[in-house]
Amino acid sequence: MNTSEGSFKLYNGLKVDPVGYGTYLARPGSVSEAVKAGYRYFDTASFYKNEEMVGEELRSCGIPREDVFIASKIWPTEFGYEEGKEAFERSLKRLQTDYLDLYLLHWPLVKGDPEWKEHLISTWKAVSELYREGRIRAVGVSNFLPHHLQVLYDSSDIKPMVDQLELHVGYMQQYTVDHCRENGIHVQAWSPLGRGRLRENGIVLKMASDYGVTPGKFLLRFLNQQGISIIPKTDDPGRMRSNLDIGGFTISDHDMSYLMSMPQTAFSGEHPDIDL
């Protein structure tokens, strides 16, 4: 899946950067700073209420649209066939673009919705049609577990190309990661630093010191080394740059095994079948 340039290739051939810029709670000006730092992959969502800011700052940065990768997401309260297409159009308008590089279903369901499968199927039909029309270059999901993905497999001939999950040391969701790999779905990590809490973890601090790197670089490399792309978020220009610089060393098999076996830690508490 990894290419010689360090990017990852989706099953439809589209390449994605190994590190993207996450815009959740990003302050005004952060996207412009991220462009200066070298980011070309930007992850947003209708739920973030910042698509206008992202679109304006990308438009003003002077980089051609075709050189920027924009991913957005549809929230489950917007699900439905017609509703999904309308939500997509709203995102395009706010982002000041006529296509998206990647469009994700943000969560599989709203808690307590007895018709969540029907809503999921109709929404996936809508975004699949937009994909076939060329208005979306790749389609995917976020926070979907295998039983959610199976609903899409059973109703469509288009599988998700990406599943964006909370993944980090102490919360690897290995059953879902393995399922995605078996089905050709690229795995992407949100909260790859455990919302910053893992930077102070004693084990992480010791291992990072042994490799002569910062805890942040060590944590991101841990995921990248597994073929997982990452979406860290920060408003600090220095950390923006350091989050892009995750090469130059390899974590040993022994240390990878140790990290993969750590007890659960830094979990956000968000679960698709419980919390929405």
Report yes or no on 274 lying in a domain. no
Give the CATH number, domain containing residue 129.
3.20.20.100
pLDDT at 274: 81
Catalytic residue check, 48 = yes
Report yes or no on 71 lying in a domain. yes
Report yes or no on 16 lying in a domain. yes
3-state helix, strand, coil in the chain (%, to 5): 45, 15, 40
State the catalytic residue, choosing from 21, 39, 41, 48. 48
pLDDT at 180: 98
Tens-of-pLDDT digits for all 276 residues of the chain?
333 348 999 999 999 999 999 999 999 999 999 999 999 999 999 999 999 999 999 999 999 999 999 999 999 999 999 999 999 999 999 999 999 999 999 999 998 899 999 999 999 999 999 999 999 999 999 999 999 999 999 999 999 999 999 999 999 999 999 999 999 999 999 999 999 899 999 999 999 999 999 999 999 999 999 999 999 999 999 999 999 999 999 999 999 999 999 999 999 999 999 854
pLDDT at 61: 96
Report yes or no on 266 lying in a domain. no
Report yes or no on 143 lying in a domain. yes
Contact 158, 131 (CB under 8 A): yes
pTM for the model stands at: 0.96
pLDDT in tens, 171-196: 999 999 999 999 999 999 999 999 98
Residue 23: both structure tokens together: 């815009």
The widest CA-to-CA distance across the chain, in whole angstroms, is 54
Residue 95: give the domain boundaries.
8-195+227-235
Q: Strand order of the sheet with strand 229-231? A: 21-22, 41-43, 69-74, 102-105, 139-142, 162-166, 186-190, 229-231
Report yes or no on 267 lying in a domain. no
Residue 98: both structure tokens together: 């006529």
Q: For residue 136, what are the β-bridge partners?
A: 100
Residue 27 gets which letter from DSSP?
P
Contact 215, 205 (CB under 8 A): yes
pLDDT at 6: 87
Report yes or no on 269 lying in a domain. no
Q: Which long-range contacts (CB under 8 A, 24 or more apart) does 256-263 make?
A: 256/222, 256/225, 256/226, 258/203, 259/169, 259/203, 259/207, 259/222, 260/172, 260/174, 262/169, 262/170, 262/203, 263/170
Q: Phi and psi of 76, rounded to 5°?
A: -60, -20
Report yes or no on 219 lying in a domain. no
CA angle 162, 165, 143 (to 5 degrees): 85
* Number of domains into which the chain is organized: 1
pLDDT at 275: 55
Amino acid at 38: G
